[in-house]
Amino acid sequence: MIKDLLFHLLMILFPIHLYQTFFMATWKFQNVYKDRVMLGLLGGGSAVLCTLFPMEFETFRWDLRSIPLFVSILYGGFLSGSIASVMILAARLLQGAEPLLVCFILTTHVMYCIPAFMVLRRYVSMSKRRKMAAASGISLFAFVTILLNFYMYLHLKGVAFPWNQYSVSMLAFTAVIMVSGMMLSILLLESLRDYIKLRERMERSEKVSIIGDLAASVAHEIRNPLTAAGGFMQLAKQTSIAYGRKVDEHRESAGGNTFSRDEELTPVMKIGNYLDTALVELKRAEEIICEYLEFAKPNLKNLEGIHLAATLSEAAREAAEYALAKEIRVTCSVDEQLWIWGDDQRLRQAVLNIAKNGIESMEGDGVLAIRASQLQAHAVITVSDTGHGMDGETIRRLGTPFYTMKEKGTGLGLMVSLKLIQAMNGEASFESRPGKGTTVTIRFPIWEEGRGYRPAAEIK
């Protein structure tokens, strides 16, 4: 019995390790669809092996197929869970069974899958400890469901269940193994996922640091001549304006003529029109240089307690003004008691940059929602839009140097925002699907010493 249980645990844990080592580390979450299909196939294959090599116990057979099934559901969603379920049921039914046993198998499978699908949406945002607790509860529920349904099946067949000291001890041991195996699977998955994310973060931080240093040195060298050029352009523009006034005064003193003012403009005066365009482009170049400098070293000048209700309401107000031209509605809903520690102006800048990206991804009648609530010891800010969304590859490249989806963008705005968030001990994550919009989630540690109350306006 013990040898069979350990063999089942090996069949369960090996596909998980295979999935983490060869697929997650290689794909890096680039293709969500392929990732979920592969997780469903591996989970279903592991469950099928458990079904083909069951544990013999007194008058019935037992296996741990529910563990890889629950892993497929909790980490791959409906698609992975469906693939694994079809593989499990097909393998079991192909072994042959009477109609009553078939009904028992289908009913039991549906019953113990319900809790896993019920917690699916909340599972992603849970902490590691809560995930293990939830998975253990689901696994224990599956054990009780299987046991009760099997007892009813034996009762309908007129066979007595072998209640004795050995059977009870073996059932208790099996329940412990099911829960322990589920917890071990979750721990292995979460640990390897954390390791892969940490490695990606370190690789990205190293690249960003090198490019940031280079950008800062280049920006400093370019900024000085651009400032001088801008000053001389302003002087030239003022000279052309003064010359134009003299022409107007001369025309008035001469009693006017039949020529229009445009026809009287000399080449010197026309330069003023060209200078306007040049100054606009020069201002844009200066803004880009400022973004480079901000990206190289985020400057947090005024560290203080931030009342999120007031800060996010102000950011939402500015976003609403920006969204007026596209007829996009901006809403803001914030927990009034949330305080964090950081730079108020920089946080507003970061949230506004993210909100503008969301607005630019939407057409008319879109909605941008800014929310903030408390989740354990963190303040969680979400910025959601109803735009065109992004695929897994695009999400993975967000925040990398010079990557942008805009025609005239530099990719620095989002990078600066992410660095500002990181400088305030925060972290940001993206969730998006093509055609379904995007949600940016920002987490900050709550500042426990925050006191005071200021109402937040809601933009409708």
Domain boundary among 239, 264, 296: 296
Mean of pLDDT values over 283-310: 73
| Residue 460 included in any domain | no
Residue 432: which CATH number? Answer: 3.30.565.10
The reply to whether 191 and 215 lie within a common domain is no
The predicted pLDDT at position 357 comes to 87
Q: How far out from the chain centre does Cα 386 lie?
A: 15
Closest by CA position to 385, among listed 370, 400, 399 = 370
Q: Which two tokens stand for residue 385?
A: 């839009």
Of residues 179 and 127, which shows the higher confidence score?
Answer: 179
Same domain for 201 and 212, yes or no, is: no
The answer to whether residues 347 and 211 belong to one domain is no
Q: What percent of the chain has pLDDT above 70?
A: 74
What pLDDT is attached to residue 455?
36
The stretch 56-82 carries a mean pLDDT of 81
The answer to whether 377 touches 341, Cβ cutoff 8 Å, is no
- The tally of CA atoms less than 13 A away on the side-chain side of residue 418 is 19
Three-class SS of residue 297? coil
* pLDDT score of 270: 63
Whole domain around residue 25: which residue ranges?
2-206
Residue 451 lies in a domain: no
Residue 457 predicted with pLDDT over 60: no
User: Once rounded to an integer, what is the mean pLDDT over residues 146-169?
Assistant: 79
Kindly tell me the sign of the dihedral angle through the C-alpha atoms of 197, 203, 206, 210.
Answer: negative
Same structural domain, 197 and 231 = no
Q: How far is CA 114 from CA 32, 66, 78, in A?
A: 23, 12, 11
How many helices (H) and strands (E) the chain has is answered by: 14, 9
Q: What is the pLDDT of residue 259?
A: 45
Lowest mean pLDDT among 64-68, 278-282, 359-363, 379-383: 278-282
Residue 456 lies in a domain: no
CATH number of 147's domain: 1.10.1760
Are 168 and 241 in the same domain? Answer: no
Indicate whether 345 pLDDT > 80. Answer: yes
**Are 33 and 117 contained in the same domain?**
yes
What is the pLDDT averaged over residues 18-35? Answer: 60
Domain boundary among 278, 296, 314: 296
Helix, strand, or coil (residue 292): helix
Residue 385: φ, ψ to 5°: -130, 165
**Are 31 and 87 members of one domain?**
yes
pLDDT at 28 over 60: no
**Confidence band of 196 (pLDDT split at 50, 70, 90):** confident
Q: Verify that 163 and 227 share a domain, yes or no.
A: no
Half-sphere exposure of 339 (CA within 13 A, CB side): 13
Beta-bridge partner residues of 304: 342
Q: Is residue 395 part of a domain?
A: yes
Contact 355, 313 (CB under 8 A): no
pLDDT (mean) for 169-185: 84
- pLDDT at res. 162: 73
Q: Nearest-CA neighbor of 369 among 298, 435, 306, 315?
A: 315
160 with 74, same domain?
yes
**Which CA distances in Å does 377 have to 172, 333, 380, 383, 429?**
37, 19, 10, 20, 18
Residues 348 and 229 reside in one and the same domain: no
Task: Show the tokens assigned to 460.
Answer: 């409708």
Answer with the one of 181, 206, 231 that is the final residue of a domain. Answer: 206
Domain count, the chain: 3
pLDDT at 390: 84
Same structural domain, 178 and 211: no
Residue 451 confidence (pLDDT): 46
pLDDT bin (cut points 50, 70, 90) of residue 453 is: very low
Whether 440 has a pLDDT exceeding 50, the answer reads yes
The pLDDT value given to residue 351:
92
The residue with greater pLDDT, 450 or 311, is 311
Any bridge partners for residue 369, and if so which? Answer: 331, 384
Instruction: Let me know if residue 71 belongs to a domain.
Output: yes
Per the domain annotation, does 20 fall within a domain?
yes
Which pLDDT band holds residue 313 (cuts at 50, 70, 90)?
very high
Instruction: Please indicate, yes or no, if residue 66 is contained in any of the structural domains.
Output: yes
In a domain, 149, yes or no: yes
**Do residues 363 and 278 both lie within one domain?**
no
- Is the distance from CB of 74 to CB of 116 less than 8 angstroms? yes
Residue 276 has pLDDT above 90, yes or no: no
